[in-house]
Chains A and B, each alone.
Chain A
Amino acid sequence: MESIKKTFGILWIILALLTAYFCIFEFGIPKLGTGHQEDLVFGIIILFILTPIISVGLAVFGYYALKGEYSKDKM
């Protein structure tokens, strides 16, 4: 189980990168250029608030998992 926890750390880091990609290039930047103010606010929030929290948070979580910080003896 401990090795699965560590290996899955890589998955969370990849997921963090994918989330960042989708947040920036699919949801964030396209919204900025639509000309609708509602989309502009949504895009800004996605890019500057949500992406850092979700992607950086998940990447750090993955890194800790990979380093074995969530193993039984360290909890």
Chain B
Amino acid sequence: MQTNKKSLWKVIGASSLGTLIEWYDFFIFGSLSVVLSTKFFPADNPTAAFLSTLATFAAGFVVRPFGALFFGRLGDLIGRKYTFMVTLVLMGGATFLIGITPSFESIGYFAPLIVLLLRLLQGLALGGEYGGAATYVAEHSPEGQRGYWTSWIQTTATFGLFISLVVILLTRVLLSEQQFDEWGWRIPFILSIIMVYVSYLIRKNMDESPEFAKAKSEGKTATNPLKESFGNKYNLKFVLLALFGAAMGQGVVWYTGQFYSMSFMKTVMFLDSDQADLILGIALLFGTPFFVVCGRLSDKIGRKWIMMTGMLLALLTYRPIYEAMYQITNVDRKTEITQARTENIETRSTDTGNEEVKHYRTEYTDGTKVHITSRQLHQSDGQPELVDTVPHITTKSVVTVSGSNYVLLVALIFVQILYITMVYGPIAAFLVEIFPVKIRYTSMSLPYHIGNGIFGGLLPAVSTYLASNAQSQGNQTYYLEGLWYPIIISGVCFIIGALYITKNMTANTDQK
């Protein structure tokens, strides 16, 4: 039943590469959302903006769990291999098509509609892919080593994000700003089809999972996986425990470390966008191997306490970590080098008059540099343009850090990535083991995608709501208030997991 080591590496390679590409495809849409919005969803057009919101929310929240149900059912009925081949092709095809879709300027409303549909297909495919890959690898793995082997699949989400950042960064570096804005942004999407084709060729030659093949040959596969997963009390209670005792906390820890941290650096600390991407990239690169370490460790000491420790550490240290991050760019506590101050004004002609752009640059003794740009529009008669009877001035601050501040920031993000590896490294093996073969794909996919898609996906919206509420009430540390969402969710999940999950919980195949 179990596979020899050489074949197992082939299984891991084929599965991980495909899953990595799927995550890459999913993340480039998010990473390029600003460019995409100008091409497909112009903000001054309400219908297009509405479709943009749907693309953001629907693909992340709603469609992923549906993909988990749809493809999970297929995977339990016809097999793991064919199902995750379909999800791979679906994802790659959708991503490629986004890359070649004409812009709003060329085809009007068809552009955002097509992109919305393709984004929904991406969400569906992702919902089906992960459970298939994790199940496929776990069912090839030797007894007692599932944590180690499935942890390779766990690296793919983080590595997929890393690759997406690198590809986008390289495209930006190789092209001029104008070239990137005109057509260069399409390259990361179009590249996907080559990667998907290679992955398809590798996966095509793989065999079906031995456990599923055995169950099928013995006629022990499910006839109605959805009913057997969620209509059966014994299985449903494990689905709920997997969701509220593991996946929910894992989802918020994952989103906080990888996405909230990036958004915090860019919008609260005003860190230079490229520098923030690079800092996150470095932390991801150093942190990713720890998925395998935690997976291996979970085989030795059990999955439960590694995941629970990750959640506990996260909820106890998030606020101090983010306070330390905030202080890195807080110039109120820094000493300015007054000789380094420069100020210059440019005036550019516009259709209705001119735009005055003021640049203010300064430096601090610890190497921090600040560049503030303020723009004001003037009419042709020299009068400033008014919005609500006041002159309309937009200001943008960009901060860059260096030296020990840079290292400290990388370290603070790295610690958060470590928490992710603790909660995420062992979770595939944990989910696979608590469900029997015949309903495994369906049962494990749903809690995973609700945990990540819904609890994790909600994080930006809820955290922003909490932070802006605190700011409007005059709270001095409003920038930390958004963290209450991951802290509370992790706390509840920690208590449920610690109380109800048993150390070596595995599926009882005798139960109906």
Chain A residues close to B by CB (< 8 Å) = 1, 4-5, 8, 12, 15, 27, 37-38, 41-42, 45, 49-50, 53-54, 57-58, 60-61, 64-65, 69-70, 72, 75
Contact = CB atoms under 8 A, between A and B. Distances in A.
Q: Which of B49, B240, B462 has the most CB of A within 10 A?
A: B240
Contacts, number: 63
A65 B243 CA distance: 14
Contacts of B58: 45
Contact of A53 (B50, B450, B495, B496): B450
Interface string B476-512: 0000000000000000100110011010010010000
A24 B404 CA distance: 46
A69 to B, nearest CB: 5
29 contacts: A4-B499, A5-B499, A12-B496, A27-B465, A37-B46, A37-B53, A38-B50, A41-B50, A41-B53, A41-B54, A41-B57, A45-B57, A45-B58, A45-B62, A50-B458, A53-B65, A57-B240, A57-B243, A57-B244, A61-B237, A64-B233, A64-B237, A64-B240, A65-B500, A69-B233, A69-B237, A70-B500, A75-B505, A75-B508
A49 B458 CA distance: 12
Given A5-B500, A50-B454, A61-B241, 4 more contacts: A12-B244, A53-B450, A57-B243, A70-B500
Contacts of A1: 499
A38 B49 contact: yes
B159 interface: no
Contacts of A65: 500
A58 B248 CA distance: 11
The 9 closest A-B pairs by CB, nearest first: A61-B240, A37-B50, A38-B53, A41-B53, A70-B500, A64-B237, A69-B237, A61-B244, A41-B57
A1 B508 CA distance: 22
Contacts of B450: 53
Interface in B48-96: 49-50, 53-54, 57-58, 61-62, 65
A58 B458 contact: no
Interface string B417-436: 00000000000000000000
B57 A42 contact: yes
A61 B236 CA distance: 9
B340 interface: no
B173 interface: no
A70 B461 contact: no
A47 B151 CA distance: 35
Contacts of A8: 495, 499
A69 B234 CA distance: 8
A38 B505 CA distance: 42
A20 to B, nearest CB: 15
A70 B243 contact: no
A8 B301 CA distance: 27
B454 A54 contact: yes
A42 B461 contact: yes
A57 B244 CA distance: 9
A49 B244 CA distance: 17
Contacts of B50: 37-38, 41
A31 to B, nearest CB: 10
Nearest to B465: A27
Given A41-B53, A57-B240, A64-B240, A49 B502 contact: no
Nearest to A49: B62
Interface in B233-284: 233, 236-237, 240-241, 243-244
A52 B505 CA distance: 28
Contacts of A64: 233, 237, 240
A15 B489 CA distance: 12
A70 B233 CA distance: 12
Contacts of B499: 1, 4-5, 8
Nearest to A48: B62
Nearest to A70: B500
Given A41-B57, A64-B240, A53 B46 contact: no
A36 B62 CA distance: 20
Nearest to B52: A38
Contacts of A15: 492
Nearest to A8: B499
Contacts of A58: 244
Interface string B25-62: 00000000000000000000010011001100110011
Contacts of A49: 61-62, 454
B485 to A, nearest CB: 11
A31 B57 CA distance: 14
A47 to B, nearest CB: 13
Nearest to B505: A75
A70 to B, nearest CB: 5
Interface string B431-474: 00000000000000000001000100010011001000000000
A42 B499 CA distance: 33
B506 to A, nearest CB: 10
Contacts of B244: 12, 57-58, 61
Interface in B205-238: 233, 236-237
